[in-house]
Amino acid sequence: MVHLTIDHKPVEVPEGTTILAAAKSIGIDIPTLCFLKDINEAGDCRMCLVEVKGQRGFATSCIQKVEEGMDVLTNSIDVIEARRTILDLILSNHHRDCLTCVRNGHCELSDLARKFNVQHIEYEGEMTTHTVDDHSPSLIRDFNKCILCRRCVSTCNRIQGIGAIDCINRGFHSTISTTYDLSLNDVNCTFCGQCITACPTGALREKESIKDVWAALNDPDTICIAQTAPAVRVALGELFGQKIGTNVTGQMVSAIKHLGFDYVFDTNTGADMTIMEEAHEFIERLNNHGVLPMMTSCSPAWIRYAEKNYPELLDHLSSCKSPQMMFGAMIKSYFAQTKGIDPEKIKVVSIMPCVAKKAEILRPEMEVNGLRDVDFVLTTRELGRMIDYANIDFNELPDADFDDPLPLASGAGAIFGTSGGVMEAALRTAADWISGETLQKLDYSAVRGMEKIKEASVTINGQTIKVAVASSLKSAATIMDSIKNGACEYHFVEIMSCPGGCIMGGGQPIKNSKTQSSIDIAKRRSAALYDIDQASTIRKSHENPVVKAMYENFFGQPGSEVAHHYLHTHYHMHPKYNIPEDTQ
């Protein structure tokens, strides 16, 4: 243990602790900008400067370790003035269109400017101007708002293992960009959006679809149908001041109906259908010497990553479409037929925690009988903006239910939104089908949690099935490399692109670095989904009566020709997207 004083308060912390962490342990808040716990701890921005008595100059508290007897001042006049100067220099080369920025009210740079009472920029001078990269179907990169904090770079490298972006050039001309300064659409970016949630400003954002959705809602000849992913309901409330991990399902449905949608359905029902098809496919592979391990195909960023980096292993991917695409196809077929609606009049809007879903709906193969499965994708953040635009008081809304004839989803569908959830849902159904019994075992706790890679063995009818769950693309690479090397012994693998799963997707509410450092956001959102599962009367996908009715009346049985026509797809070494010309 090391003993020191911070702002005249004694503190005892383990050797190796940073000054920043030591200060936090006694309730002293030091401002930061580039710091992101366990992701970016490089001391680039210098906003966390402190004064150490007897030490020449200032110390960068996010990287400097404590020493025995150290006497630290975090708010001396000199420290405050130094931070003010640093902030002024950052702002001098920042396009300050804050009122029209998507991060207005949620920008860490703006928060610091307010804290330091910045009313004018002292160091006005030359300002760099950059072309906005909006060619990706999912993300927009606006370097004019970048502050070179490198949080996006560290996230792309350390968490995802992609390295699509880095710092190029030197000095005043330094920028965060791609190889040869190409668009994100033309490099190895997977559109996972983790860089967006890491960015403290508006330099990275999703490609917004709100105008298109408003147009559809205002077209009297269009039937607008919304479907909502499981992770959205445990995060949307945060945009309206509710606690992290609050389940706002009823208010969410109510808000969407207030926006003017004709029907609101639950993507969890699509997740139940995914399990029906995926479990059937897995059993077929297991019993008939098919390609193993079979790997889940729900995450479009993971699919793009596999197509670009492991094209020779694409046969390992399940042929099932993701829940949003399956459900979109079901809406324009089964639902349209049930209601007697011309499917060409239907527009399906998916509300997702993920920006890669925007690219997924543009894949050429994501259509059936000439109709796109899904027409538009809104992120959780975009839905929050639409609710604000419509002047809806979200917190005062009464609960509302999902609409008939697709009102039910199982608890298994709900846990799709967290790491391990897809695997657990699949095991519940596969175990029943393999054993030919209705098993009482529902909870597969070995695949739960936020570990990067989780492993488990499940014995069914005397047969041991080895499974694994990988969270983040860097973890996915570990498993893919083991398959290439012939060292993989798994039968079934779940891959989620984002650390913790969809609950931490690139389209979810953005939390500042202080919140990310002090609260386990993934754990809280995940717990809310497991609570939904635990409270559900139906906890197995194949026991959902709505799903049973769809198979009886339309699809026949899992793996049927009709099911393959609507619910399955294929993958490409070089994936293409049908990007509308006006967005290129």
Residues with catalytic roles? 278, 281, 298, 318, 357, 360, 365, 502
CA gap 159, 474 in Å, rounded? 6
User: Is beta strand 71-73 parallel, antiparallel or unpaired with respect to 49-52?
Assistant: antiparallel
CA gap 101, 552 in Å, rounded? 50
CA gap 531, 523 in Å, rounded? 12
CA gap 194, 439 in Å, rounded? 38
CA gap 16, 18 in Å, rounded? 6
Helices 249-258 & 380-389, crossing angle to 10 degrees? 50
CA gap 319, 309 in Å, rounded? 18
Q: Tell which residue, 97, 88, 27, 86, has the closest CA to residue 60.
A: 86
CA gap 280, 286 in Å, rounded? 10
Beta strands in 7-79 (DSSP E): 9-13, 49-52, 58-60, 71-73
Residue 8 contacts residue 53 (beta carbons within 8 Å): no
Q: Tell which residue, 270, 256, 265, 266, has the closest CA to residue 217.
A: 256
CA gap 110, 36 in Å, rounded? 17
CA gap 468, 489 in Å, rounded? 10
